[in-house]
């Protein structure tokens, strides 16, 4: 599978772009454990143009994590084109346009999945961004706005005709948000369409080796993008590639989480580095074996010093090893 000149090989696994999740520390860990492609947190076109410091910081990429994409969102042609040109100056391998974010503060203003209610504008933005940059442009979107408007089969052709080089489809509508089960049926239909020649990347509810294999086998997608199942679990990519076994011990996994914390604190600062990391720690499945983990989880989420968070992780290490 190729996007532009980048060859990802067979059945690659991508890390989904997620706000407050895919910071540089986490991206590096996911890359280490086999993610073929990683993305920064998605960034607002308006904020890029206004040179908002926190937004520009999210666009910082490291050669160690390549290939890496930067995902942008916005609601008008002019700002999206200007933002794409600024993003290109950072030299990402791919510029991805977000037409899939369902949250109210984005979709409610007409951006992200909100564009599913204004297809002509979506296509105008896509066409203009493709024409404005030389970096490969891709799109991520959903099946449609709601179950009465499942438009992805036609929309995929229209987006391809705009010149995008890959399309990621999340198997839910905007109205579903993240509830219910992702429906990959229409993703499979898009992939089987003889007119479609760009790579189709499936997204939604892939949580382990079994679900990844089923999606590849049943729907024929070129790649799979994994989102929420990566929280506190960057080794999921190796798990899937190795048939369900990451090959890591409890010690190894806690070492990885501690390293993520250190990278984020060093790259940002202690307070924000902890904020970025502790949601991964609190969500990691490795702590399920700890009795009354709820109290430990609360302590993780309240910690505001790196030494305190490391101490909590070391307590978890001791308990988990004693129980194994």
* Catalytically annotated residues: 101
Contact status, residue 184 vs residue 152, Cβ threshold 8 Å: no
Q: Using CA atoms, how far apart are residues 232 and 5, in angstroms rounded to an integer?
A: 32
């Amino acid at each position: 599978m190729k996007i532009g000149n980048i060859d990802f090989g067979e059945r690659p696994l991508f890390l989904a772009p997620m706000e407050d999740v895919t910071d540089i520390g986490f991206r590096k860990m996911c890359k280490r454990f086999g993610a073929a492609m990683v993305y920064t947190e998605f960034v607002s076109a308006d904020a890029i143009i206004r040179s908002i410091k926190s937004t520009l910081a999210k666009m910082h990429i490291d050669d160690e994590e390549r290939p890496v994409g930067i995902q942008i969102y916005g609601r008008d042609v002019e700002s999206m084109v200007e933002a794409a040109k600024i993003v290109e100056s950072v030299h990402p391998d791919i510029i991805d346009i977000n037409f899939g974010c369902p949250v109210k503060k984005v979709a409610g203003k007409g951006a992200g999945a909100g564009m599913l209610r204004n297809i002509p504008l979506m296509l105008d933005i896509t066409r203009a961004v493709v024409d404005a940059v030389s970096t490969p442009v891709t799109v991520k979107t959903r099946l449609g706005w709601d179950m009465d408007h499942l438009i992805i089969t036609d929309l995929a052709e229209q987006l391809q005709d705009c010149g995008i080089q890959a399309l990621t489809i999340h198997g839910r509508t905007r109205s579903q948000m993240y509830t219910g089960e992702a429906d990959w049926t229409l993703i499979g239909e898009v992939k089987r369409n003889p007119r479609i020649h760009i790579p189709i990347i499936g997204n939604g509810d892939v949580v382990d080796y079994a679900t990844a294999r089923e999606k590849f086998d049943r729907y024929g997608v070129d790649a799979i993008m994994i989102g929420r199942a990566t929280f506190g679990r960057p080794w999921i990519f190796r798990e899937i590639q190795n048939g369900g076994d990451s090959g890591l011990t409890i010690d190894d996994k806690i070492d990885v989480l501690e390293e993520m914390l250190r990278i984020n604190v060093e790259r940002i600062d202690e307070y924000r580095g902890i904020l970025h990391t502790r949601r991964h720690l609190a969500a990691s499945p490795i702590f399920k074996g700890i009795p009354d983990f709820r109290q430990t989880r609360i302590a993780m989420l309240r910690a505001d010093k790196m030494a305190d968070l490391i101490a909590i992780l070391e307590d978890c290490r001791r308990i988990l090893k004693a129980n194994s």
